Amino acid sequence: MSTQLTIIKIGGNVIDNPDALKRFLTAFAGLPGDKILIHGGGKVATQVAEKLGVQTTMVDGRRITDRPMLDVVTMVYGGLVNKQLVAQLQALGVNAIGLTGADAGTVLARKRPVKEIDYGFVGDVVEVDSGQILYFLRQGLTPVYAPLTYDEAGNILNTNADTMASTIAVDMAGRATVSLVYCFEKKGVLANPDDDDSVIGQLSPELYAEHKAAGTINKGMIPKLDNAFNALDKGVSRVVICHADEVAAAVTGAGAGTTLRLPTPA
C-alpha cells in the first residue's frame, strides 16, 4: 500500500442512473493509488421494498429500518447494488472486493438507542478495524463497502453511508494520508439551492454556520457536512464534496466541487 489513500462515497441519484454510474466508475477506475469506495442505494431499496410490499417510512430524510426493511436493505445494499458495482469495476480492471462492515469484522456498530424516534435496526459505528482494511489494500484489492455494519449480538445494521465513509477515513488516517471525497449529482455545496452553478469553492466551519443559520444549507446536506468536518478535525487531510462527473478533478486538486477547510492555527 502507498502512503496516499483516497476514500470516495458515491450516492444520490448516481447509483440508479446507469449512464451516470458508468461514467463515475470509469473515472474511479482511473484514479491513481489505493482507494476505497463506499456506496449508498436508498432509492433502489425503496423501489425494491415497494415491489415486495414492504412499507418505507422516512423521518427527516432518514429511513426507519424495521425488521422487514432490514431484510430489504441487506439484500439491496449488500447484494444487488454492491455486487453490480464490483462486477463493473472488475470489467474496468479494478480488482474490487465487495464488503459490508460485518465482513472480516471491519466495521462494528451498535444499534441506535431509542430516544424521540425509534430508527429500528440502524447502527452507529463503534470501531473500524483499519488493520484488516490495510491488509485488503496490501493484497492489491479495492474495498467496495455497502452501508451495512454489524453488532456484537450478530445483527446486521443499516448505517448511513456518509458516516461510514467518515469513520473509515478517520481510522485509516492513522495509517496513511487520506483524502475523502463525497460524490453525488450536485456540483458541490451550493450557496443557492436553486442554482446548480452557485458552488461554494471553499467552506470553513464559520461559513458553514452562516449558511445553516440562513437556511441555504439544510436537510440532508447538514449531516453530510457534519461528518465531513468531523473527519477533518480527526486527521483526514482533505475533504471535497463534488459532482460524480468531477471526481477525477476533485482527487487531483483541480478545483472541482467544494473543499472543506479548518481554520489555520494561530
Residue 236's nearest CA partner among 137, 185, 161, 166 is: 166
* DSSP code, position 111: E
Instruction: Kindly give the interhelix angle for 205-214 and 221-233, rounded to the nearest 10 degrees.
Output: 160
State phi, psi for 114 to the nearest 5 degrees: -80, 120
**63 annotated as ligand-binding:** yes
How many CA atoms within 13 Å lie on the side-chain side of 169?
32
Core vs surface per residue 190-209: b (16+ CB within 10 A) or e: bbeeeeeeebbeebeeebbe
Quick one: cell of 177?
494520508
Residue 40's nearest CA partner among 197, 258, 224 is: 224
State phi, psi for 251 to the nearest 5 degrees: -70, -40
**158 annotated as ligand-binding:** yes
Annotated binding-site residues read 41-42, 63, 158
Annotated binding-site residues for substrate read 41-42, 63, 158
